[in-house]
Structure 1
Amino acid sequence: MIVDDHEVVRRGIADVVAAAVGLEVVAEAGTAADAMRRGALLKPNVALIDLQLPDGTGIDVIRDLAQTSPETRTIVLTSFDDDDAVAAAVECGARAYVLKTVRGAEIVDVVRAVAAGRILLDDRTLTRRRQAHPDPTASLTASETKVLDLVAKGMTNRDIAEELGLAEKTVKNHVTSMLAKLGLSRRTQVIAWVASQHTTSWR
């Protein structure tokens, strides 16, 4: 799915992606609302999302898709190299970002890589994130760290309780505390966040 409010840009990217072997454009959207609706309905494997939309932001769309279509892997599509915006998108689960000025072949390469499960972030963005958050897990207790890893594997509170020999209520408390310390609000964000850490020196 391609999300961009400029039809010429959107169609151009769609044509490039559709022409690539093994790739198919299942939907296009020009607004955040349309992207959320189509994403929830079609559940695309990958979504390229512009950060600036007329009725919201690409970050709004990424957050919504994390709830309605958690299997969708998102790529930030932007015409400006804004560290803050890109970092915010990454924190919400974006797997990569590309500037609209890159060649079509590069966009196709990024789509293929993200579809295959890779996370593509340039050194500058990773360095900025490490400087801003030297070790996001440093404040977690040993129990919270164990719970973090199990949540990232998609386990429910009941499964985690059985795995660790704890009461389900205790696990719930650990999850609540862990989310607060990491600045996250949902389990799906934990899964995306832990996956992104595999590209850094944190974990």
Structure 2
Amino acid sequence: MLDTATGPIRVVIADDHPVVRRGLAALITSIDGLEVVGEAADGASAVRETQLLRPDAVIMDIAMPGVDGLEATRRIVAAVPDVAVLVLTMHDDDDTVFAAMQAGARGYLLKGADQDDIAHALRAVVSGQAIFGPGVARRVLGYLSSTPQAPGVVFPELTAREREVLDLIARGSSNATIAAQLHLSPKTVGNHISSIFAKLAVASRAEAIVRARQGGLGRT
């Protein structure tokens, strides 16, 4: 996670429309604490720019020529897992939303979001939270609440390790305590927590604890 005391949040913008890229760049650079360090016109370029520049976040469009935004997100998450991907797209259908989540995006906003929404989303995903636009969030929560769970397994969308981490979060453990107990690095714990937040569509540790306890985790 970024320590904002060390400098601004560094952002790469990936969108195949030059006018959109320029508009986003102007918007972001006008906000204190945010800085555009690179741009990409397609998914392959987005991956290269991210690996080269190591920004804190990538604003990712979905529909781009060649490698699309979903595949670019998967490649970025695999190669540079500390970089937060924030999807900004016109697509609000269920398949695209959930594909972006599965690819590892930490946030999903629709184009038309205002300056404050984009700034808030960037800061949130860089700090390890998952964030979705209001309509997208309702869809995600509705989908997850209606998805049947496998018998005997709570939160089957999580990996076994993520369930362990979530259980410890629900017990009130800090990241440092979780790292020590599970013999993981703090960075790995942070990555697991980001994935948990995205899969459960929660935006804070408190929300994750509520969901976990509702599912029976975190109990002694």
Normalised TM-score (structure 2): 0.66
Shift of 1:6: 0.5
CA RMSD of aligned residues (A): 3.4
Secondary structure of the corresponding residue to residue 39 of structure 1:
helix
Secondary structure of the structure 2 residue equivalent to 1:75 = strand
The answer to whether the aligner puts 1:27 opposite 2:38 as a matched pair is yes
Q: Equivalent residue for 1:61?
A: 72
Tell me which amino acid in the other structure corresponds to 1:194.
I
Q: 2:94 matched to 1:86?
A: no
Distance 1:202 1:88, change over 3 A: farther
2:216 aligned partner: none
Q: What is the aligned counterpart of 1:193 among 181, 192, 195?
A: 195
Deviation by residue 1:46-103 (Cα, 9 ceiling, x = unmatched): 1110011101221111111112111001111111312210111112221111111122
Counterpart selection for 1:95 from 92, 103, 106 = 106
Q: Which residue in the other structure is 2:16 paired with?
A: 5
Cα deviation for residue 124 of structure 1 reads 2.0
| 1:125 aligned to which of 136, 140, 145 | 140
Given that 2:85 and 2:106 are in contact with CA atoms closer than 8 Å, whether structure 1 keeps it comes out as yes
1:135 deviates by 6.3
Q: Percent identity?
A: 31
Q: How many residues align?
A: 174
Alignment check: 8 A CA contact 2:140 2:201 kept: no
Q: Identify the range of structure 1 (87-96 vs 132-141) with the bigger mean alpha-carbon deviation.
A: 132-141
On the 8 A contact 2:43/2:71 being kept in 1, the answer is: yes
| TM-score, length-scaled by structure 1 | 0.71
Letter in 1 for 2:195: W
In structure 1, C-alpha distance between the alignment counterparts of 2:49 and 2:130, rounded to whole Å: 24
Unmatched segments (≥5 aa) in structure 2: 1-11, 169-174, 203-207, 213-220
User: What CA distance in whole angstroms lies between the structure 2 residues aligned with 1:194 and 1:10?
Assistant: 30
Q: Which runs of 5+ in 1 are unaligned?
A: 161-186
Q: Secondary structure at the match of 1:52?
A: coil
